[in-house]
């Protein structure tokens, strides 16, 4: 008798829940911009951890490349440019805990992480930061690094 009562209660609750679910209005879709912004926020947070805590500049470049490609209108794109430019600069100067041995990389990665390409990337991204985002809190440091990069160019 107990089993029948439990089974009957379960069926009653299940049917009530399914009826309730059908009566609720459709969920509104989240706008794609909001989804891209959340994804970019996540990538930026991870990139900052790689940058500050681990000094893993290659990993930072991978995260920032993804963000720049997927969401070029990101509200914090100045931070992304800063991280990308500074990570490229540091890698080009052999800094960080992630050492790049070009011999161990594929031909595509050798081109991507070659010293000259890293310096070019640093120059490009830091210049975009300085030119397009003069109110950024990273402006002064980017400008200082650009001064160091330009004599090399």
pLDDT tens digits along 81-96: 999 999 999 999 999 9
Question: Would you call 118 exposed, middle or buried from its count of C-beta atoms within 10 A (0-12, 13-18, 19+)?
Answer: buried
State mean pLDDT over 66-71: 93
> What is the band of 30 on the pLDDT scale with cuts at 50, 70, 90?
low
Question: Which conformational region is residue 55 in: left (phi greater than 0), alpha (psi within -120 to 50 degrees), or beta?
Answer: left
pLDDT at 32: 77
Answer yes or no: are the C-beta atoms of 58 and 106 closer than 8 Å: no
Please choose, from the candidates 57, 38, 37, 42, the residue with its C-alpha nearest in 3D space to the C-alpha of residue 125. Answer: 57
Q: Is the pLDDT of residue 68 over 60?
A: yes
- Record the pTM: 0.78
pLDDT at 25: 54
| Tens digit of each residue's pLDDT (9 = 90 or more) over 105-153 | 888 988 999 999 999 999 999 999 999 999 999 999 999 999 999 865 4
Average pLDDT of the chain?
Answer: 85
What letter would DSSP give residue 111?
Answer: H
In the chain, what is the straight-line distance between the N-terminal and C-terminal CA atoms, in Å? Answer: 87
Which residue in the block uniquely carries the two structure tokens 């900052």?
48
Rounded to whole angstroms, how far apart are CA atoms 152 and 11?
76
Rounded to whole angstroms, how far apart are CA atoms 130 and 140?
8
- H helical segments located in 24-114: 32-49, 57-70, 77-92, 107-112
Higher pLDDT among residues 28 and 69, named by residue: 69
């Amino acid at each position: 008798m107990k089993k029948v009562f439990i089974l009957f209660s379960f069926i009653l609750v299940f049917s009530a829940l399914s009826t309730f679910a059908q009566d609720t209005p459709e969920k509104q879709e989240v706008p794609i911009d909001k989804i891209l912004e959340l994804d970019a926020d996540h990538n930026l947070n991870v990139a900052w951890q790689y940058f500050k805590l681990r000094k893993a500049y290659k990993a930072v470049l991978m995260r920032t490349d993804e963000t720049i490609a997927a969401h070029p209108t990101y509200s914090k794109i100045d931070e992304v440019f800063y991280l990308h430019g500074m990570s490229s600069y540091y890698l080009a100067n052999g800094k960080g805990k992630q050492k790049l041995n070009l011999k161990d990389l594929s031909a595509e990665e050798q081109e991507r992480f070659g010293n000259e390409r890293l310096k070019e990337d640093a120059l490009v991204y830091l210049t975009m930061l300085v030119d397009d985002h003069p109110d950024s809190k990273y402006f002064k440091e980017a400008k200082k690094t650009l001064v160091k990069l330009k004599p090399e160019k």
